[in-house]
Amino acid sequence: MSTVTAPSEISKSRFSLSRLLIGKPLETRALPHQVVSNPIGLAVFASDALSSTAYSIEEILIILALAGTGAVTLALSIPITLAIVTLLIILTISYRQTIHAYPNGGGAYIVARDNLGELPAQIAGAALLTDYILTVAVSISSGVAQITSGFNALYPYRVGIAVGVIAFMTIVNLRGVRESGRIFAAPTYFFIFTILFMLIVGLVRSALGNLGTVKDVHELVRHDVQSLTLFLVLRAFSSGCTALTGVEAISNGITAFKEPKSKNAATTLTYMSAIMIVLMIGLTLLTHQVSALPSERETIFSQVGRTVFGASSVFYFALLSATALILLMAANTSYADFPRLAALHAGDGFLPRQLTYRGSRLVFSWGIMGLATCASLLVLVSRASVTALIPLYAIGVFLSFTMSQTGMVVRMRKVGKLHPGEEVPGRETVMRYDPHWRLKMFISALGAVCTGMVMVIFAVTKFTNGAWFVVVLIPTLVFIFFRIHYHYRDVARLLSLKGVPVDVEKRPIQTLILVDDVHAETVRLVNFAKSLDHPWHAVHIAVNPDKVELIREKWRKRIGEGDLVIIPSPYRLLAEPLRQYIEELQAQTPGSFVHVILGHLAMDTFWEQALHQNTAVLFNLALSRMERVVVTSVPYQIHRNGLAHEPSEAIVPLGH
Amino acid sequence: MSTVTAPSEISKSRFSLSRLLIGKPLETRALPHQVVSNPIGLAVFASDALSSTAYSIEEILIILALAGTGAVTLALSIPITLAIVTLLIILTISYRQTIHAYPNGGGAYIVARDNLGELPAQIAGAALLTDYILTVAVSISSGVAQITSGFNALYPYRVGIAVGVIAFMTIVNLRGVRESGRIFAAPTYFFIFTILFMLIVGLVRSALGNLGTVKDVHELVRHDVQSLTLFLVLRAFSSGCTALTGVEAISNGITAFKEPKSKNAATTLTYMSAIMIVLMIGLTLLTHQVSALPSERETIFSQVGRTVFGASSVFYFALLSATALILLMAANTSYADFPRLAALHAGDGFLPRQLTYRGSRLVFSWGIMGLATCASLLVLVSRASVTALIPLYAIGVFLSFTMSQTGMVVRMRKVGKLHPGEEVPGRETVMRYDPHWRLKMFISALGAVCTGMVMVIFAVTKFTNGAWFVVVLIPTLVFIFFRIHYHYRDVARLLSLKGVPVDVEKRPIQTLILVDDVHAETVRLVNFAKSLDHPWHAVHIAVNPDKVELIREKWRKRIGEGDLVIIPSPYRLLAEPLRQYIEELQAQTPGSFVHVILGHLAMDTFWEQALHQNTAVLFNLALSRMERVVVTSVPYQIHRNGLAHEPSEAIVPLGH
């Protein structure tokens, strides 16, 4: 057994367009193993969570406004925000535990698989995959809405812009983004400081009494006024809970932190939650102060911003661009998470294997393309409207929160049964006794119950607005995942060699040459068949009965050896008569191989190729269902222009 | 050399959807050889020409109305119609000559090829193919406009209806229509008699003085009023000349008539022209009488019809349905003519060979699909508006008229040089001396000059309205046709065996087995390679370096013979490293065959197949550019469900 040397470099001549867009191929050993400091980690992983504040407050107000735009009604946004903040605190404490338990990465899929089994893991995974797609669609739609708030002339082109942004982001990600790059730090901190600055200016001006309220709102979202029911308040609450999407990001990316990884990740999570709480409460108060009202053409952020800073202030445009930028960053995190999670599923055999292949730039190209396609479709269908997408969003995330924390409850019960000091190695991580297991189990259980309740509230209050789609989709996905899994399992079983003796005896081979006409290509086929040194004969399928005599004559004159069998084909079919002929041959010599040799004219360009029949592909397909029928395609190269490639053979193909 | 018996019947299990739509396959010997009587022939071939009256008068009025809707202006439609009628008479006499000269079919392509050479023939053919596409688009758009005139509620759905009709017509034609079927007779005669009845009723009521004018026209087509120039009159004339499209149909279809074919065809042509003249003059007068004005939502036919018969009369709806029906019939003639002409081009090597293949129902399926695709695109782009399509239409037909008649002039000059009684056999037909050759040459020349002038008027007056597209398209098509022709000619030259000795010596074969993993499929590959009895070794492309040791180990344990070569692939490419390895092998043993054997897991369904890599196709493509590298794909069948197909082998695939 030998190993040949690595190719010195790969050919430069081909795939020039894709190479231009995607970049030069990268070697496998170039897979990055970098780690980041806590401030950079915060910037990288917080964009998703922080950016949701750009639409969550708005979506709360849109629901409340259904019951009229009175001051008392809209003031309900404040207690709703406080409820969401409480939920965030519970989640943060609960997820710190997960981070410590799974230092190698504690995403919902892994935690559920480790503690609950395959079905819950697939449910959590399907939910997360769905939500990653929605994150892209919602974040980019919201980002574009920020831009069109500032530049109203762009409003009619919002769908095109959003799809264009997705396409751009897809190309960037197919090139491969160094997730840990410092480039991510800038927009996140730019956003945090811009918002904090706006909060301070706004609250100071409010205290001085010269803040005022929003002027010249374009057009309000108008509905028939409903009465203010508990149902409506819960619906507003669940809309606001979209702010919590992205909180799980750090638990997926623990390995990106410096040692001690778990501790650093947990600390960063705490910082992130603290910042979120400040932003959410501050923004809710300020929004209420300036009496911003939801409008289809201008975001709440834009209204608050121009009231605080003035519509022509540079800070107002800084706010809009910071918001648009962090929303794009948030979408970009899905471009990292979705393909990675899909590859995990595929590695376990629940999604097509192709999702585990790294492309020329080491990224999971299939996953990136799949994400981009689904997100673009959502943007097109929803006409890039955040409000239309929100009812579909966040159910998946809350389902995965619930699964993950339920998994932690199960794990803590097991931990509680260990003796002090005992360690049990698991699939993902080592399980150690923990004296505080009861408290930790309680926190995880509390988190699971809360997020589970929110998910139910979500599904019920928004069912008719679109949530039904997700309620149907996730079980469907899980069903498909298992179908795929059973397929791979069965194929593996059918291919397994366990207990099967290796087939050592040689078998007879009957060789057929498929002849359409007799010319230089045919000579090569005959030459190959003769070189093989097995019994052979030629076969012509008589699609055109008028040609038969001519071909017989040519065969006799030009080849002059070997039998030429004519198979009639009254229905002008190619594969069907051949199949019947082969079946007869196989019946005559059971257990033999039938070896079909056919020619393939290989042209230099696609257009030239399209002018020929290309029957090789057809026969390969048609005969692939027959046991022990082997198809050989013998290419014959045609170089019309300059004969540049194989000068010695192209014109005088034989007998040199 | 032997011939096996014909398959008793072809498999019934596959392609069930297409079989449902298209019907059972037909045997080649079932090609129809029927002939028709003159009245049926008139009905079959006249639908295109007669149906054009449904839009030609309308298009004349639309142009004239650009100069205002005064009575004097619109009365110009009468002299314009008379000019068109004169042209029709010249054309009829001229085409009678062509019919007599080419009893086996005298389409413009054949006449031009026979007398003028390849380039003019290709120009005539390209022009006709373009116009056949336009005939479908214009006729169906006009037919749908008749329907929406009667049922205004359908107006917004006209594009969808038109595309649906094209799809339906495509399916019908893929099933194969017996052109000569009596079914064609009914709509043509229904149309002729309905129009004649309307003319009589209209003229009688007009004579009695109780006809009146059109009431309640929906909305006129409004433009800025232009002044009435000669240019505008010529533009109106050229729009009206679209009525003459289809006059050539009988000359294409002479073989469908009874003996004496030429005489019967010529008589039918005369009858057809006479009917057209009556309809055109009658309709123009009646339209003028009732002061019908072009409207976007109601055709002129509909306006005249409801004025003559009354809007709720059964005759009014009979008129609309007769008109819609004959327009569909007219479109259908293109479904016969386009594929037949395309097959002629393809047979001469100017279009892809595939266009000459008859599908399972004996029709030229590729031509039908091509026509349907182009016509649908035109309907979509023009939003099914006849007025938008008219500027593109008829240039091609008039160009082909000109080429055909110029060809006849050349022919008559040759005829004039023969001695009385002399006969010269030509490619298409025998040339005989004719004492009237001077007169006939004059008539053909007159026709050629007239139609040529009309074509120029057409191109100039409508250039900016869309005719430029056709002016650019036809030379482009001719260029492409010749590129295709040169390609086939070169390939034939490269494949020709003239002067090339047959390669008789056997060559060494080096066999490679491509191994991705070691399982039951691999065993079959090894078994086949061993059965071939040539030197062989296995090759593994190390896309995933971590798997290499495991595969070496498996190979040693499970196969235990043959060399396994590991080819590194640091860029995770499959084909490129293999190509380099093969090049090295070929350099070591020049002139040898390299025989690559790879496995192909054949699944029962498309979806299962999509879950696997299907590298066989990839390698076939990637290696097809290498001289004497032969790829064999060894299928291995996976039947998961019930193992119904090959029970003996599916589960225990080896060593039985």
Distance CA A450, CA A78 (A): 20
The SS3 assignment for A295 reads strand
CB contact under 8 A, A3 and B534: no
CB contact under 8 A, B564 and A497: no
CB B559 within 8 A of CB A502: yes
Note the helical H segments in A290-394: 300-309, 314-347, 365-381, 386-389
Q: Mind telling me how many Å the CA of B34 is from chain A's nearest CA?
A: 21
Local structure of residue B226 (DSSP, 8 states): P
Q: Mind telling me how many Å the CA of B582 is from chain A's nearest CA?
A: 12
pLDDT of B583 reads 92
Amino acid at A554: K
Out of A571, A612, A653, the one facing B360 most closely (by C-beta) is A571
Distance CA A573, CA B362 (A): 11
Residue of A nearest to B548 (CA): A3
CB A596 within 8 A of CB A514: yes
Instruction: Output the CA–CA distances (angstroms, integers) from residue B1 to A249, A558, A564, in the order listed.
Output: 73, 15, 5
CB contact under 8 A, A531 and B1: no
CB contact under 8 A, A524 and B503: yes
Taking CB atoms and an 8 Å cutoff, what residues of chain B touch A577?
7
Out of B4, B29, B571, the one facing A27 most closely (by C-beta) is B571
The greatest distance separating any two alpha carbons of chain A, rounded to the nearest whole angstrom, comes to 107
Distance CA B643, CA B327 (A): 54
Distance CA B425, CA B432 (A): 9
Establish, for the pair of chains A and B, how many residue pairs have beta carbons separated by less than 8 Å.
303
Out of B497, B519, B625, the one facing A495 most closely (by C-beta) is B519
pTM: 0.73
Q: Mind telling me how many Å the CA of B99 is from chain A's nearest CA?
A: 29
User: A202 pLDDT exceeds 80?
Assistant: yes
More confident residue, A346 or B362: A346
Mention every residue, 6+ apart, whose C-beta is less than 8 A from residue A110. A102, A121, A344, A428
pLDDT tens, B369-404?
Answer: 999 999 999 998 888 888 889 888 889 999 999 999
CB contact under 8 A, A352 and B611: yes
Out of A503, A533, A563, the one facing B523 most closely (by C-beta) is A503
Through-space distance between the first and last CA atoms of chain A, rounded to whole angstroms: 36
What is the pLDDT averaged over residues A491-504? 74
Confidence class of residue A504 from pLDDT cuts 50, 70 and 90?
low
Q: Mind telling me how many Å the CA of B487 is from chain A's nearest CA?
A: 8
Confidence class of residue A11 from pLDDT cuts 50, 70 and 90?
very low
Distance CA A287, CA A196 (A): 14
- What percentage of chain A reaches a pLDDT higher than 70? 89
Q: Mind telling me how many Å the CA of A635 is from chain B's nearest CA?
A: 5
pLDDT tens, B572-583?
Answer: 888 889 999 999
pLDDT of A82 reads 94
pLDDT of A410 reads 94
Mutation target among A27, A364, A497 for the B interface, most CBs of B within 10 A: A497
Half-sphere exposure of A181 (CA within 13 A, CB side): 10
The alpha carbon dihedral of B638, B640, B641, B644 has a sign of positive
Instruction: Output the CA–CA distances (angstroms, integers) from residue B527 to A507, A626, B651, in the order listed.
Output: 8, 17, 18
CB B543 within 8 A of CB B572: yes
CB contact under 8 A, A633 and B630: yes
pLDDT tens, B202-212?
Answer: 989 988 888 88
Distance CA B587, CA A174 (A): 37
Distance CA A26, CA A28 (A): 7
Distance CA A539, CA A560 (A): 14
pLDDT tens, A385-410?
Answer: 888 898 888 899 999 999 999 999 99
CB contact under 8 A, A531 and B506: yes
pLDDT tens, A550-590?
Answer: 999 989 888 888 899 999 988 888 888 999 999 999 999 88
CB contact under 8 A, A2 and B565: yes
More confident residue, A202 or A430: A202
CB contact under 8 A, B571 and A519: no
CB contact under 8 A, B565 and A533: no
CB contact under 8 A, A507 and B491: no
Helix A395-417 / helix A108-115 crossing angle, nearest 10 deg: 40
Half-sphere exposure of B58 (CA within 13 A, CB side): 26
CB B282 within 8 A of CB B81: no
CB contact under 8 A, A654 and B503: yes
pLDDT of B644 reads 36
pLDDT of A639 reads 76
Confidence class of residue B653 from pLDDT cuts 50, 70 and 90?
very low
From the list B315, B389, B338, B410, the residue with the least C-alpha distance to B113 is B410
CB contact under 8 A, A10 and B527: no
Q: Mind telling me how many Å the CA of A346 is from chain B's nearest CA?
A: 10
Q: Tell me the average pLDDT of chain B.
A: 84
Q: Mind telling me how many Å the CA of A341 is from chain B's nearest CA?
A: 18
Q: Which of A184-188, B282-286, B359-363, B544-548 has the lowest mean pLDDT?
A: B359-363
pLDDT of B93 reads 94
Out of B509, B630, B635, the one facing A624 most closely (by C-beta) is B635
pLDDT of A20 reads 67
CB contact under 8 A, B651 and A26: no
Mention every residue, 6+ apart, whose C-beta is less than 8 A from residue B104. B254, B255, B428, B429
Q: Mind telling me how many Å the CA of A593 is from chain B's nearest CA?
A: 8
Q: Mind telling me how many Å the CA of B540 is from chain A's nearest CA?
A: 10
CB contact under 8 A, A3 and B565: yes
Distance CA A57, CA A290 (A): 14
What is the pLDDT averaged over residues B476-500? 87
pLDDT tens, A466-497?
Answer: 889 999 999 999 999 999 999 999 888 888 87
pLDDT tens, B142-186?
Answer: 999 888 888 888 888 888 899 999 998 888 888 765 544 566 678
User: Beta strand B536-542 with B509-514: parallel, antiparallel or unpaired?
Assistant: parallel
Q: Mind telling me how many Å the CA of A650 is from chain B's nearest CA?
A: 8
pLDDT of A648 reads 35
Residue of A nearest to B11 (CA): A576
Burial B374-405 (b: 16+ CB within 10 A, else e): bbbebbeebebbbbbbbbbbbbbbbbbbbbbb
Backbone region of residue B246 per phi and psi (left: phi > 0; alpha: psi in -120 to 50; beta: other values): left
Local structure of residue A103 (DSSP, 8 states): T
Residue of B nearest to A10 (CA): B576
Out of A3, A488, A573, the one facing B566 most closely (by C-beta) is A3
pLDDT tens, B62-98?
Answer: 888 888 777 777 888 999 999 999 999 999 999 999 9
What is the pLDDT averaged over residues A307-320? 89
Residue whose structure tokens are 């205002």:
B68
Local structure of residue B555 (DSSP, 8 states): I
Question: Which residues pair with residue A595 across a beta bridge?
Answer: A511, A630
Q: Mind telling me how many Å the CA of A358 is from chain B's nearest CA?
A: 8
Name the phi and psi angles at B564, rounded to 5.
Answer: -115, 115
- What percentage of chain A reaches a pLDDT higher than 90? 38
User: A177 pLDDT exceeds 60?
Assistant: no
Instruction: Output the CA–CA distances (angstroms, integers) from residue B205 to A246, B123, B279, B427, in the order listed.
Output: 81, 49, 18, 57
Out of B487, B611, B637, the one facing A484 most closely (by C-beta) is B611
Confidence class of residue B655 from pLDDT cuts 50, 70 and 90?
very low
Distance CA B283, CA B297 (A): 20
Out of A28, A630, A638, the one facing B491 most closely (by C-beta) is A638
CB contact under 8 A, A528 and B491: no
Backbone region of residue A487 per phi and psi (left: phi > 0; alpha: psi in -120 to 50; beta: other values): alpha
CB contact under 8 A, B576 and A7: yes
pLDDT of A607 reads 82
CB contact under 8 A, A624 and B631: no
Out of A353, A527, A634, the one facing B611 most closely (by C-beta) is A353
pLDDT of B211 reads 82
What is the pLDDT averaged over residues A515-536? 89
CB A440 within 8 A of CB A434: yes
pLDDT tens, B290-302?
Answer: 888 888 788 888 9
CB contact under 8 A, A633 and B631: yes
Residue of B nearest to A346 (CA): B611
3-state secondary structure B527-542: HHHHHHCCCEEEEEEE
Taking CB atoms and an 8 Å cutoff, what residues of chain B touch A651?
494
Taking CB atoms and an 8 Å cutoff, what residues of chain A touch B518?
497
Taking CB atoms and an 8 Å cutoff, what residues of chain B touch A508?
531
CB contact under 8 A, A484 and B531: no
User: Beta strand B564-568 with B536-542: parallel, antiparallel or unpaired?
Assistant: parallel
